[in-house]
Structure 1
Amino acid sequence: MPLLDIRNLTIEIETPQGLVKAVDKFSLTLAEGEIRGLVGESGSGKSLVAETLAGIAKDTWHVTADRMHFGNIDLLSLSHKERRRMMGQDIAMVFQEPSSCLDPSQTIGAQLKEAMPRRMANAKWWQHWHWRHKEAVSLLHRVGIRNSQTVINAYPFELSEGECQKVMIAMGLATQPKLLVADEPTNAMEASNQAQILRLLERVNKLSGTTVLLISNDLTTFARLTNNITVMYCGQAVESGTREQILTQPHHPYTAALLQMMPDLDGSLPHKSRLNTLPGAIPPLQSLPIGCRLGPRCPNAQKKCVITPPLAKYKGQSYYCHFPLNMPQKGKPKS
């Protein structure tokens, strides 16, 4: 049984112009101990999926799905109280702007201690304060913060962006979750801080067996860590496969465009040459194109693309495209 099984998740948002589909029939399956990458441009719906999974959907959202199970638990049938309890035990989320998610009026230590559930306290009730303080220091050491005594008494605005992100990860690990959802955890960070955060997530996965859903708009930041990658465009999952399949044999033109936009630094790129880009931008939700949503931007678009492409699979790699790339050439008929 997979740890997370989402099938045909649809998120409709109320707007002055009516309901718009921000996420359309999104499916995702996560196995225990897996690191899954979810990649796509800003506005493709990645964060909406993460927030719905974490149970923080807004009142103006209409969420439906054929199946949305965490283990054998139906997430859509849970009450708000039951969903909060699950978020405090089995699912944790790291947001992309940690400094805005931390309470500026409380110290880091107070917020870490608040994140620790009582069920984990391995001490008598009168020893809880000392146990929580000791556990908070241990968590900060675990995520790579050396000056833990200074950080534990500091306020969020006194820390750097990288330190705040590590604190957010420590708060997520405080509950020993089965699933950690990291929504662009290295956003707007320096390269050294990015490498530290990614190494930390990899270590958490290997040592604790925590399943990680890693969300980013940059395929280069996490490709090495992932077991499988799902590519989203305009609210839809357009391609999904193993890391090797996505990086070496992409079938969807959007995936190929993301890979081509990665700068080639091996010396073969001519001096002052123009970088590869995909023309156009993601269309607004109020005026989505008919058929394939990439059609107006796709270099391989044809008349058939006005029809929504069906799901196709090849060697375990799934994609939605009428004219897939990197497919074996069919033999010519004998004369």
Structure 2
Amino acid sequence: MAAAAWLLLVLVCAVFAPLIAPYDPQAQDLPAALSGPSGSHLLGADQLGRDVLSQLIYGARPALIGVVCAVATWLVLGVSLGITAGYLRGRADSAISRTADLLLSLPGLVVLLVVFSVFPGSLIVPMLVLGGLASAGLIRIVRSVTLTVREDLYVKAAQVLGLSRVRIMTRHVLPRVSSAVIVQAGLFAAIALVIQNGLSFLGFGVVLPNPSWGGVLGEASQVLLRSPWLLVAAGGVVGLTVLAFVLLGNATRDAWTEAWAPSQLSSAPPAGRGARAARAASTAQAPHADTSGGVLTVRGLSVEFDGPRPVVSDVSFSIGRGETLVVVGETGCGKSVTALAVLGLLPSGARRTAGTVLLDGMDLTTCSRKELAVVRGNRIGYIAQDPMVSLDPNFTVGAQIAEAVRRHSRASGRTLPRKAVRDRVVGLLGSVNLRDPAAVARKYPHQLSGGMLQRCVIALALSGDPDVLIADEPTTALDVTIQAEILALLRRLQETRNMAILLITHDWEVVAQIADRTVVMYAGEIVEEAAAADLLAAPEHPYARALLACDPVRALPGHGLPVIPGSVPVPGAWPAGCRFAPRCAEAEQKCSAAPVAFTRTAAGHFTRCVHAEARVQA
């Protein structure tokens, strides 16, 4: 508060200097020259008898103008380019990072002196240049924070909802980098003030005899031995202002991180922007699809990371409307990567090397970014495994669902009024069995329990009435009772909306409760696929049998819980033949001789095992 009060006082002096200053800054009182504080001159007079207080009051204006110009340029360039580089990556990141490196290599003081020589007497242009040169450091800071934020699940959820890149960067990424920017802004404002006054001290910037803080310091240095008080007065004002900038930056950062942004539930986008967005979305609408097959079909999908290191190999499956396909496997088997590949949201460094993803016959792998933005959220919903990090902590639950509702309504060519958006949000929260949905909409994620958060995430995923719902371990962080409620909720929503569900889990009890068909993945490939009841009753692949044996529910009383020896091989170190052979108790020499084919062993039952091949051939 003290820092803010001092800066407010400086601002008032800068704006109302003619009304506040006791004297004209150029008026001379020669008998009072170099006198100390007195009733006539509260801060004394300089060597020409000019009132020091009046000069400092008038000098506040150029000081603040210079700081504002420098900080504004620094913020605009540093924040916008830093977020763009960190979020978009690729060529944009490379170009912006190289430009920042170039700016950091330039001698700033020399550049400023050149600018002063080109624009003599100008204050604004050199301070704009100072802000541009210093923005390189902020670009690096913001970029590094953005690289972390862009991997958060709530950012992935915003991408799935079809929000534009600009919308995600400004609404969901910018608040997360603000705390770091606020502190740096206070520091840079102080640095800009010191540099400006240092240059004025040397005779650059404000042209004499116009008053400036640096000019007063320069005169005080010439008469230091005769009147040291003059330096104390001018230096004290500059020092207090520098200290106020730094303290206010830190205090504002603390207040920012402790407070929550206000709810945007009732806000509606400007009509012009909504109309433009609706027209853009209408041009990106996906073509009408062939519905003869499954609503979602994946064929020969392969994904690799930098290296190259394959992580998913030749994965194929299909899901019909109203059907639930559950993918089971240990951590590191490629389940989540497969789901992200379907959405077109692979993490940085990963790329699809083969395969197609068909949504009602439309190949998503050939769609443009705008077409995918229409599909995500409207046609495909996504539920991440940790609900706490799937929602942006800066906004209320209702604000985030309202944002998705407005986005999907614009994609369909219409703009909903505020009340319709609010009613839709409350209706979605009510559809997932939340008591008092209107009150829940006004709460922030940290104010809700795990079960309530998961329901909110499901409501968010349903905001676009998707045809396919991808749920990545949606019950992992929940206790058994809440887990059963969530599974029952998903089943009820599926029946009422006729959705296809792709669910990823480690838990066989989840398979038993909700699955129609089950896929078992190991080391990036599917090793068995069958109806859930058939696979639970008689799994054919040794890995599926081993996983079932490790289920605590199926463990025999008095016996230890079985454990599969070893671990899933890391990508790039897969065995040449059966990838499970090094851990398999039934492995033979022929298992490692060559890749094993995916064999049909019965109606709707497929497995990847040489023993199954032998049985079929026999």
TM-score using structure 1 length = 0.91
Report the counterpart of residue 246 of structure 1 in structure 2: 535
Which amino acid is 1:96 matched to? Q
Give the C-alpha shift of residue 270 in structure 1: 3.4
Kept after mapping to 2: 8 A contact 1:98/1:161: yes
Aligned ranges for residues 167-182 of structure 1 at < 5 Å? 167-182=456-471
Report the counterpart of residue 398 of structure 2 in structure 1: 109
Q: 1:253 to 1:87 in 2, by over 3 A?
A: same
Give the C-alpha shift of residue 241 in structure 1: 0.7
- Pair 1:6-2:298 in alignment: yes
Kept after mapping to 2: 8 A contact 1:238/1:319: yes
- Pair 1:294-2:580 in alignment: yes
Report the counterpart of residue 506 of structure 2 in structure 1: 217
For residue 341 of structure 2, give the secondary structure of its aligned residue in structure 1: helix
- Pair 1:42-2:42 in alignment: no
Higher Rg of the two aligned structures: 2
Q: 1:119 to 1:183 in 2, by over 3 A?
A: closer
Which amino acid is 2:397 matched to? I
Give the C-alpha shift of residue 131 in structure 1: 0.9
What is the CA–CA distance in structure 2 between the aligned matches of 1:78 and 1:99, rounded to whole Å? 31
- Pair 1:285-2:583 in alignment: no
Report the counterpart of residue 479 of structure 2 in structure 1: 190
Q: 1:155 to 1:269 in 2, by over 3 A?
A: same
Report the counterpart of residue 143 of structure 2 in structure 1: none
Deviations 1:290-333 (A, max 9, x none): 21110100010000011211121022211110013996997xxx
Which amino acid is 2:308 matched to? L
Deviations 1:249-299 (A, max 9, x none): 21100111111111246xx8333x211121111111132222111010001
What is the CA–CA distance in structure 2 between the aligned matches of 1:205 and 1:322, rounded to whole Å? 37
What is the CA–CA distance in structure 1 between the aligned matches of 2:591 and 2:422, rounded to whole Å? 59
Aligned ranges for residues 1-335 of structure 1 at < 5 Å? 1-14=293-306, 18-117=307-406, 120=409, 128-264=417-553, 269-271=556-558, 273-306=559-592, 307-315=594-602, 316-324=604-612
Structure 2: any 5+ residue segments left out of the alignment? Answer: 1-292
Structure 1: any 5+ residue segments left out of the alignment? Answer: 331-335
What is the CA–CA distance in structure 1 between the aligned matches of 2:386 and 2:573, rounded to whole Å? 29
Give the C-alpha shift of residue 204 in structure 1: 0.8
What is the CA–CA distance in structure 2 between the aligned matches of 1:282 and 1:322, rounded to whole Å? 20
What is the CA–CA distance in structure 1 between the aligned matches of 2:617 and 2:561, rounded to whole Å? 30
Shifted more, 191-200 versus 215-224: the winner is: 215-224
Which amino acid is 1:294 matched to? F
What is the CA–CA distance in structure 2 between the aligned matches of 1:86 and 1:299, rounded to whole Å? 45
Shifted more, 240-249 versus 109-118: the winner is: 109-118
| Percent pairwise identity | 34
What is the CA–CA distance in structure 1 between the aligned matches of 2:485 and 2:557, rounded to whole Å? 32
For residue 469 of structure 2, give the secondary structure of its aligned residue in structure 1: strand
Kept after mapping to 1: 8 A contact 2:434/2:452: yes
- Normalized per residue, the structure richer in strand is 1
**What is the Cα-based RMSD across aligned positions, in Å?**
2.2
For residue 7 of structure 1, give the secondary structure of its aligned residue in structure 2: strand
Runs of 4+ in 1 over 4 A off after TM superposition: 117-122, 325-330
What is the CA–CA distance in structure 1 between the aligned matches of 2:553 and 2:357, rounded to whole Å? 39
What is the CA–CA distance in structure 2 between the aligned matches of 1:328 and 1:85, rounded to whole Å? 45
How many residue pairs get matched? 322
Give the C-alpha shift of residue 59 in structure 1: 4.3
Which amino acid is 1:277 matched to? V
What is the CA–CA distance in structure 2 between the aligned matches of 1:325 and 1:7, rounded to whole Å? 22
TM-score using structure 2 length = 0.50
